[in-house]
A and B are shown apart, each in its own frame.
Chain A
Amino acid sequence: GAVVSQHPSWVICKSGTSVKIECRSLDFQATTMFWYRQFPKQSLMLMATSNEGSKATYEQGVEKDKFLINHASLTLSTLTVTSAHPEDSSFYICSARTRGSNNEQFFGPGTRLTVL
């Protein structure tokens, strides 16, 4: 149980386009979803926390207009990178936290974004 999927697993796009990444909890309801960004050879950096039905809380330095997060249901959150530029190229990982169960976070497999 406790499986989180991400789609797509990788994406290559042209500069200026927008890219949407989906994060789904497949077999549980997630009260909260987290979005992380990971640069090569670096640790995970929390970008934002989203609760179902409410606005996401962004970490300091993360542009909310650049990285749009929508947590539409208890099983789906989306991250849209708007007007992507090469510096947005990164590995994006989502995680979902369960109701109860010690508030455990379960991680998706990640999405590798390359902006040309």
Chain B
Amino acid sequence: AQKVTQAQTEISVVEKEDVTLDCVYETRDTTYYLFWYKQPPSGELVFLIRRNSFDEQNEISGRYSWNFQKSTSSFNFTITASQVVDSAVYFCALRDSNYQLIWGAGTKLIIKP
């Protein structure tokens, strides 16, 4: 079965703390893509990253970093030195061989000042 699990429903940290959002996926496909999106209170989805299954290199973009581990089927997202503006719901998604996106339940991240 194709599935994305974001076990953390809500995370609350104080500003400047580092925080990691977990994402575990299941797929039968050998070629697939994984995504992270941010959804602020406005509702508009903001694309953060796409990773294909053949590229296990970790990626860093400013305060954001992603750890892709095929061995554990995980694609975790870390925000370093969190800021209040990072408060949002974050979704992990898997694109299957039919090009449809399978979404995790989302993790609500609250950054307190």
Contact A109 B44 (CB under 8 A): yes
Q: Chain B contacts of A43 at CB under 8 A?
A: 91, 103-106
A67 beta carbon closer than 8 Å to chain B: no
Contact A91 B43 (CB under 8 A): yes
Give A9-31 as 1s and 0s: 1 = Cβ < 8 Å from B's Cβ atoms: 00000000000000000000000
B84 beta carbon closer than 8 Å to chain A: no
For chain A, the count of residues having a C-beta within 8 Å of the partner chain is 20
For chain B, the count of residues having a C-beta within 8 Å of the partner chain is 18
Q: Chain A contacts of B7 at CB under 8 A?
A: none
Interface members, chain B 76-113 (any A CB < 8 Å): 91, 95, 99-101, 103-106, 108
Within the complex, the shortest CB–CB distance from A82 to chain B, in Å, comes to 23
Q: Chain B contacts of A76 at CB under 8 A?
A: none
Contact A107 B45 (CB under 8 A): yes
Contact A44 B91 (CB under 8 A): yes
Q: Chain B contacts of A49 at CB under 8 A?
A: 100
Task: List 7 additional A-B contacts (Cβ < 8 Å) besides A34-B100, A105-B101, A107-B47.
Answer: A43-B103, A46-B100, A103-B99, A105-B99, A109-B42, A110-B43, A110-B45
Smallest CB-CB A-B distances: 9 pairs: A109-B44, A107-B45, A110-B43, A43-B103, A103-B99, A43-B105, A44-B103, A43-B106, A91-B43
